[in-house]
Copies of this chain bind each other. A is one copy, B any other.
Amino acid sequence: MRIFNQSAIRSLEKQARTNLINALAGIRPANLIGTIAEDQTTNLAIFNSVMHIGADPALMGFIMRPTTVKRDTYENIVSTQEFSINHVNIGIVSSAHHTSARFEISEFGACGLIPEYGSCIKAPYVQEASIQIGLKLAEIIPIELNQTKLIIGEIHEIRIKDETCLEPDFNLNLELAKSIGVNGLDSYYSLQKLAKYKYAKPNLPPEIIP
């Protein structure tokens, strides 16, 4: 067993520490966030911090790093109040990772991904994504501890390209959608469905839903 106490954590070299602390959060969803500027320039960026906030109202959020440098995604969301969340899948993982580079032009063209438009928001979806979500800004919550922000949007549109991913109870089969996960900033994982369990009861072992 390897144990790091607080002083061992603090004395790690900066990149090692960043890697380890990021990795501890485990598997996270890999998503591309699409926005459009007022001058109609599209923007696309990969995020590993997308999270469920609530089902009613239907809210999702993500963490925006400190806006001490120019962050197009943040500026576009503040000015247009809209963004799209697109699940990264196995087929576009390299292009999706590429969007994290510092481009002076739209990441769509630069990384070989195609913008697609729905009817509820002006922000572009990623055509290659099997699961696309259109959101309007609901709230920006500053996290003073480290100058990040929790950006929360309300879901206005859900687009599921392949209906077989949608299970009868309205869960999604992420293995069929080929959605992927990311650990830390650079390690991508494919998903294999292990089991789905019924609502747990105290006196019975969890029952598997076939």
Contacts and interface: CB of A to CB of B under 8 A. Distances in A.
Interface of A: 1-6, 9, 12, 14-31, 49-60, 63, 85, 87, 90, 93-94, 97-104, 110, 118-120, 131, 133, 138-139, 141, 143, 145-146, 148, 150, 152, 155-163, 166, 169-175, 179-181, 183-184, 186-202, 205-206, 209
A163 B19 contact: no
A19 B170 contact: yes
B190 A98 contact: no
Nearest to A194: B188
20 contacts: A2-B166, A9-B158, A16-B170, A17-B55, A20-B166, A21-B55, A24-B52, A24-B85, A24-B172, A25-B52, A27-B28, A28-B28, A94-B197, A100-B200, A101-B201, A104-B202, A150-B150, A171-B187, A188-B197, A192-B192
A27 B141 contact: no
B9 A155 contact: yes
